[in-house]
Structure 1
């Protein structure tokens, strides 16, 4: 019997766990949150349930079915409030001799004491670590009251907290619509949603070969629901515009909104000011690649984990699913997760033709999202010398440029060490990709002089030195000999 370790309990991770259990593998599911569901199915804690929580989520029945099956299954060990901080790909293999390496886990609340270190040696790993918001820097984005779209939605879904009374939502991508809906549901007045891509770009990205969208028709129904909510709440939706500056003393008090050209460069003379007490900004998502890089997985030029038809990475025994292989939404994550879990447990992905078909459909959907809403090269034109580009270390764009000029450095590593940009508590998760692009833009060929990236973090999560030095407790990856998970009754929740 094989043991499969799944890192991440969002849609992809949950689907992978169920698929691996159906193949009879022993599963360990690890997630840093206290609850299953990931960012997409972030929900209220059990002690504060909502009377009609299902209306806050798409696919809520799917989540409840996955959660119920895995929690009740003795063959699936679930570790919550547990973070993988390193993968040692050179460690001794598992008991079967085919494992991908030693996985180091710290168990306990992220800010707690007395956390426990454990080590796992699984036969296979499924990476389903997801992604986080990307926010492009602009003047004032470091003010209190400026939130990522994901943070605002997490507070709305997980705590029923409104980030402000008068809010604007800006950035790019379909995610802006559910963010606005979550804000409106918590009582915020959303003054507008500002999509950076112009209408012509949206049409070119979404409408070629429109018949190919028919298999993903339910996405159209979701969009119609969000549009209906926008109309009901009287939320204006503007294309080719964005927040280019936030203003305030102790917190954001107003924002400047301007039109953007097709490359996202602000158009002079189109600026206008809106009084707000919060702004939510999201320019798509950045995959969480730390563990994939630690495991030695090949990363594509687009900075996603490269996988084959079985969701297998370039490292034997390591599979990947969900947003780290491409930003495509929950349906693609569920299909990829099912295929990855099935293959990790020794199955052939083509045993699941329905999931293969879904993956193909929603991969096409993902390509349309990138074509319509992908970040354009003109965005740095909204950054001024005084703009903070690394919020943790308070490094300005001017300081970054002057250091690069005075040292004649083309190395990302060198500039990080000399300016401390990207070396704060977030370790470049918020600013890293933007720093790379801002620096490269000033160099010949728009290329950095080294192969360093801000995704490479040998220690993936913050640890105390005492925790790092403490002896780890080896853990049997196959504590039980479970029977395969039975298929649930057919229906909409399966």
Structure 2
């Protein structure tokens, strides 16, 4: 067993797995925590071990990379991977300048089935923390989006990859970003008929992909991946329509049809272009929102775009805390792998290879290109009606938000939330938070709706039992299963 620093990695997607391997190779003891049943994250979500697919590699990009990372961590004596491990809270342990060896944070973890009783409680105080918490879909509201059958694109892909279940027989895929293409591909492989893929960004915005072609040449794999999706679209005669959006869903207790409209450059619907398309499911995603709860709790500074700010070594502004992957910017799995390798080595106190840093920088440039082409434009508000639900948990409508703003004269998100109850439901504004901020005029506030002291709901009974490992001496040899 290694006697180096104890590094905890939160998240077992591409960034987290790469960080864990780099930290272990640099001589650290590593504990990986992930809330899912198996490692891999959303990108490598797969069937459980007791019912593996015969040709799993066909369903995933870079499946061999995942296999190599999983095997390396399983064989490394200094690595422990805890799945079904939910970090529900984080305490910042403030230290003075003369306490350079003190631990930066305390993590509160529950291990076990989320709805099960008697979950194991862990309290960990690592020497270094790597946050690889990823991101989740952002879905802009539209009339009827609360109907059964309207799901996030990420949920549709998770069911397709993790359960081989299609969300419907006739599915419309809509939103913004290249993520829509692998979602459509996953649905096709489960037997669904994808009626069409509707990309909100117009062709003019998408032309930014062609700017600075030397940057694209630095990431040739993406060009091949895009060509593969284009061939699949052609093979299934599946239309891909830029500059269009689902602006309403219709049905009696279930989606039966959607209204699709052309959009202008600001994403406002163009009058007279609406048409109704029959469908029993809609998979929709307008880019992604980073999972910032733990980063905010740790005191990490955020960028103006509301991602975790990091330096050249992926270190955050919080001492002893590093970050990698989508929580620092939406760049895809390749960027996450490179960032994770940098963060893991740095967190362990090891040397960061220049080649990995250069690869990371190439993928960061690619991520900037993605945002320029697919970033959300403000005109989408034009497709809302007063009876459009904005917060699905509390059924708060757009009209109610406007009414509250007029009656109170407040444009502060907190005030509007307390008065209208938007964002106060079970999801705690994870779905509607960014939308709420934009609608009430506080978009870009430092922490906004991302500050949550309790990251996920917990039972009082889970907290009554003493922790199973002492906070200053975690023992990875007795703390769980390897992947």
Question: Given the two structures, how large is their TM-score scaled by the length of structure 1?
Answer: 0.93
Is 1:116 aligned with 2:111?
no
The equivalent residue for 1:70 is 73
Match of 1:209? 212
Alignment correspondent of 2:467: 472
Q: Deviations over 1:356-401 (max 9, x none)?
A: 1111111111011001110011111111100000001111111111
Alignment deviations for residues 153-207 of structure 1 (CA, whole Å, 9 cap, x no partner): 000000000111111101010001001000111011111100001101110x211
For structure 2, the residue ranges without an aligned partner over 5 or more in a row are: 479-483
C-alpha contact 2:267 2:378 (8 A) present in aligned 1: yes
Contact 2:417–2:424 (CA under 8 A) maintained in structure 1: yes
Aligned to 1:161: 165
Q: Deviations over 1:404-430 (max 9, x none)?
A: 211112221121111111111111111
SS of structure 2 residue aligned to 1:381:
helix
* Match 1:134 to one of 134, 138, 141: 138
> 2:454 maps to what in 1?
459
* Corresponding residue pairs, total: 471
Indicate the larger mover: 100-109 or 255-264.
Answer: 100-109
Secondary structure of 1:339's aligned partner:
helix
Matches of 1:414 and 1:214 in 2, distance apart?
A: 49
Matched residue, 2:287: 284
1:172 to 173, 176, 185: 176
2:214 partner SS? helix
2:384, 2:398 within 8 Å by CA — same for their partners in 1?
yes
CA contact (8 A) 2:31 2:476 kept: no
CA contact 2:268–2:380 (8 Å) conserved in 1: yes
**Which residue number in structure 1 is paired with residue 395 of structure 2?**
394
Partner Cα distance (1:173, 1:447) in 2: 21
Give the ranges of 4+ consecutive aligned residues of structure 1 lying more than 6 Å apart after TM superposition.
none
1: distance between equivalents of 2:68 and 2:122?
Answer: 29
- TM-superposed CA distance for 1:447, in Å, is 6.1
Residue 195 (1) aligns with residue 199 (2): yes
With over 3 angstroms needed to count, the CA separation of the structure-2 counterparts of 1:91 and 1:107, relative to structure 1, is: farther
C-alpha displacement of 1:91: 6.7
CA distance in 1, matches of 2:93, 2:143: 44
Per-residue deviation at 1:227? Answer: 0.7
1:87 is matched with which residue? 90
RMSD value, Cα: 1.7
Q: Does 1:263 align with 2:258?
A: no
Aligned to 1:486: none
2:18 is matched with which residue?
15
| Cα distance between partner residues in 2 of 1:107 and 1:340 | 25
Residue 45 (structure 1) aligned with residue 48 (structure 2): yes
Preserved CA contact (<8 Å) 1:153 1:182: yes
Confirm or deny: 8 A CA contact 2:85 2:110 kept in the other structure.
Answer: yes
User: For 2:286 and 2:336, how far apart are their aligned partners in 1?
Assistant: 20
For 1:376-415, list aligned pairs within 5 A: 376-415=377-416
Residues 331 and 358 of structure 1 are in contact (CA less than 8 Å); yes or no, is this contact kept in structure 2? no
Aligned-residue offset at 1:78: 1.1
What are the within-5 Å matches in structure 2 for residues 344-493 of structure 1?
344-349=347-352, 352-440=353-441, 453-475=448-470, 476-477=473-474, 479=476
- Offset at residue 112 of structure 1 (A): 1.1
**In structure 2, C-alpha distance between the alignment counterparts of 1:228 and 1:477, rounded to whole Å:** 51
> 1:24 & 1:194 partners in 2: Cα distance?
48
2:172 aligns to what SS in structure 1?
Answer: strand
Secondary structure in structure 2 of the residue aligned to 1:47: helix
- Give, in whole Å, the separation in 2 of the partners of 1:25 and 1:348: 13
Name the residue aligned to 1:4: 7
| Distance (Å, rounded) in 2 between the aligned partners of 1:98 and 1:480 | 23
Aligned to 2:481: none
SS of 2:256's equivalent in the other structure is: strand
